[in-house]
Chain A
Amino acid sequence: MSRNPAIARPVRQRRLQFAARLAAAILGGYAFTWGFIAAAMAVLFKAGMEFHDAEFLASALGLLLFLALFLYIVASRRRPAMIWLALLGGGALLAAAASLLQASVA
């Protein structure tokens, strides 16, 4: 690491960005996975699958999705803000869809 202030600042900024990316991989990934599992559960249940079967299948697929998202985001070069936006937005949309489906059935 350099002591030169002209270089030091970008390094600090890049570290913050990296921390934001890691947080997105963990917390954002979790939020998106929640939305995915909820939506998959609701869709499968509506399609006639037994509740606990739907719960199991959606969770198992969701965990694999979480793993893939986690790895992809850590390695990604996109801006953390964009990643956060995509994960939270996508997760919220999926979760909302799940709640709507629930309201239409229950």
Chain B
Amino acid sequence: MRQGESIVFQSFRQAMAWLHTWFGLVLGFVLMAAFFFGALSVFDREIDRWAIPSSRFEPQPMPSFEKVLRPAFERMQPLPASIEAMRPRVDGPMPAHYDSIAYWSAYTTHRDPVLALYAGYQVPGAKNPEELLLAEATIDPRDGRVLPNDQLKIGSGFFYPLHYSLTLDWKNLGFWIVGFSALVMLAALVSGVVMHRKLFRELFTFRPGKARLRSVLDLHNLTGVVALPFHFFFAFTGLVIFASTYYFPIGHTQLHELHELHEKHEAQELGLPHGRAGVPAGLANVDAMVAQAQRRWEARGMAGDVGFLVLQHVGDANGYVSVYRAGTDRIALVGQGVHFKASTGQLLREDPPTTAVGRVSEFLTGLHLQHFRHWLLRWLYVFGGLAGCACIATGLVFFVEKRKRQHARQGSQGARVVDALAVATVAGMGVAVLCMLVANRLLPEALPARGDWERHAFWGAWLLSLLHAAWRSGPVARGLPNPAWREQAWAIAVLAPLAVLLNWITTGDHLLRTLGAGYWPVAGLDLALLVVAVIAAASARRLGRRAGACSRDAAEDVEAAHA
């Protein structure tokens, strides 16, 4: 499409085509990362097991508060880095010890062997008194042993946040980029449907033998249309999940007073004044409260485990303890909260049944985050996410293929640049992930800031992949394929089995052992890596054969006009 004519659209369809092409191109790279790391995040906790060998044991229920959690919570303090980060927003010196505890909480699912603990501390003199200093720790719930902070949970601590924020935390920039991309994804889906009148026929159209351009487009339409509800659902619910926190934080800004009013109503229903009393108070036996909550769930015919345990205003007379049931067997993450007065253990309130709107909200967010037990659906999510990646990748490749020869004749570098970016996005992302896994197995166990080194390996490999793709992109300017596609496919085919091998050498957990023991978190990732290697090697061979054919063709039909 030439730019001059693109400005005034003759029809709605033309406008949608413009939108689809150009917004898809600019944000396709971000969307690809969101879909790919989202697909990996489906198995985030399993990837964590692979990356932290000391956590390779069976999932554990919420441990006893008195025996395990209380000592672990009492030892917790914010990290020096978060203290430094908050210092400019506090009048006066930072305290030496943080003992005004706003909350302690622990969240677990049916897939968690280790337990993540969270704490929020009030800081005297904070310019915004509502701003809390946060702390996090991971413990072995069997004995309360603390896992070192330097051990990066590659799945839940890196791939997962990468999926929704690109780990660009400055001013929440990453959230905004991914959020805008999600809006564009929705727009691309609508505009894609508008562009193609024969939507239903395209569902069954794939002509792998036809001209490359045609089969790339077929694959783009196929992966887009087959998984259309999946793509729309995830882009939309992703936006909904963060809407009230990041994108439209109206309840925290413009309508803050309504929010406050609501919290006061809630405190009334709970039977406790809103906020801290400022009067110290003890903490009754929390295990007894948990046992009572479980008896109440059982009485309602829904016996279950504790998923989320929260202690608000610890050590204050207004403190209370909330026990939530794990949503292992339902879509909501947690629910059926039972609340107790912390100082006496007296039952304050049981959550009423969820409202109709609340159920819709639980359904949409719960289905996106999927913490319930359903392994088939979990795999379908992975394939849906990969179908999304395939749809975006073929869209980018189609953009290049359609223009490559024309640009070659005009001496334009456009297709060449887009193609190099596409190599780095599609193949480079795989290379970066594999380099991170390899680094995870090669770096010394006790290396200080080990997690940072793993992150450097990831970003460094990704950057190298982009430089390599740019360096090898010369042939695209002559209408030929970029050899970087093939070379990076080979890199994946080598790195993936290498990661499996290193896992064996450094931990002794080879596939025969993990499969024999039925330890699927590690066996599954190892198997997936081997499958990836086979697919990458097959693609690399195919690309090699095609490159040979292409250079022969191109010599003949340089001036042949194509679509």
Contact = CB atoms under 8 A, between A and B. Distances in A.
A86 interface: no
What range describes how many residues of B lie at the interface? 35 or more
Given A53-B361, A63-B240, A67-B190, A37 B258 contact: no
Interface string B262-284: 10000000000000000000000
B527 interface: no
Given A51-B258, A67-B190, A41 B15 contact: no
B53 interface: no
A42 B248 contact: no
B297 to A, nearest CB: 22
B535 interface: no
B210 interface: no
A95 B254 contact: yes
Interface in B218-275: 236, 239-240, 243-244, 248, 250-251, 254-255, 257-262
Interface in B1-34: 2-4, 7-9, 12, 15-16, 18-19
Given A50-B355, A75-B15, A33 B248 contact: yes
Given A15-B7, A75-B12, A51 B187 contact: no
A57 interface: yes
A106 to B, nearest CB: 4
B244 A55 contact: yes
A40 to B, nearest CB: 10
B299 interface: no
A66 interface: yes
Interface string B163-187: 0000000000000000010010011
A75 B12 CA distance: 6
B239 A14 contact: no
A51 B262 contact: yes
B234 to A, nearest CB: 13
Interface string B201-223: 00000000000000000000000
Contacts, number: 112
A10 B18 CA distance: 20
B248 A57 contact: no
A74 interface: yes
Interface in B183-203: 183, 186-187, 190-191
Interface in B513-536: none
Given A11-B4, A49-B357, A106 B257 contact: yes
Interface of B: 2-4, 7-9, 12, 15-16, 18-19, 180, 183, 186-187, 190-191, 236, 239-240, 243-244, 248, 250-251, 254-255, 257-262, 355, 357-358, 360-361, 364
Given A34-B248, A51-B259, 11 more contacts: A1-B4, A37-B248, A41-B250, A41-B258, A50-B262, A51-B262, A53-B358, A59-B244, A66-B183, A74-B19, A75-B9
28 contacts: A15-B3, A18-B7, A33-B248, A41-B251, A41-B258, A42-B255, A50-B262, A50-B358, A51-B262, A52-B361, A53-B358, A53-B361, A55-B244, A59-B240, A60-B240, A62-B248, A63-B236, A66-B183, A71-B191, A74-B15, A75-B12, A75-B15, A75-B16, A75-B19, A98-B254, A102-B258, A105-B258, A106-B257
